[in-house]
Structure 1
Amino acid sequence: MPKLRSLKLFIQHPFDIGAWSITKEHAPGIRELTITASTLQGTALIAEDINIAILALQAFKEIESLTISGYRLRGCLSLLPTDDIPLSRLTRLTIVDCRVSDTVLKKFRSAMKAKHQRDVEIIIQ
């Protein structure tokens, strides 16, 4: 799928990460990634959803636009960027249906600016 530019990943449980096989080698042109957690309630799923989101971000490191949707994914931002997931091309982050503290947003912005010497547009919907 070399022409695919946008990918939407919906995390629903049970989620079999072993069956999920789309990677950069299958779709090298992904520039827009949307990760949505289902609306199931329960704090036990938060860590699992974050791990799945991190695996997706590791597979598509060259995205320019990232959308995270669902309250269980808000913890992702406090873990990014990393050496494994530098988000070096990220220019826009959209947060949907997810309350993120100002402290987390400031930390994310600061980390991105320190790592890449530029700001990331953050849109909250």
Structure 2
Amino acid sequence: MSFRDADGPIRMTDSAIFFTVGPEPARADIPALCADLAALVRGRGGGVVICDVAEVARPGVVTVEALARLSLTARRHGWSLVVSGAGPDLRELVRLLGLTGVLLQVGRQSEQREETGGVEEVVHGPDSPG
């Protein structure tokens, strides 16, 4: 297990790598972010990269692009990327761009034939009341 000092963007444990995206990522920063992540995961067994975006001040399309490219970089090396600390503005932007299922954890999946919480089955047909 190794950790960089508190100001550093990267921490590692046996089961996960913690990677931080700064407050205002620019498009020009994306290749370096991806190269840094690739260097961390290259040659290691698969695992989870937890990408902390809590410091992102004003999320924009470039932020989402950076996360998507970091996710692809992790996947190329057999890792999965989980976004952590996303604020409401970033979550809404990811949703508007149709990338919620790719970048954000939306909750657990229903198990075999289990109804999703708060959802009732609606029956339409001759036997339905009213």
Q: Which has the higher strand share?
A: 1
Normalised TM-score (structure 1): 0.46
Normalised TM-score (structure 2): 0.45
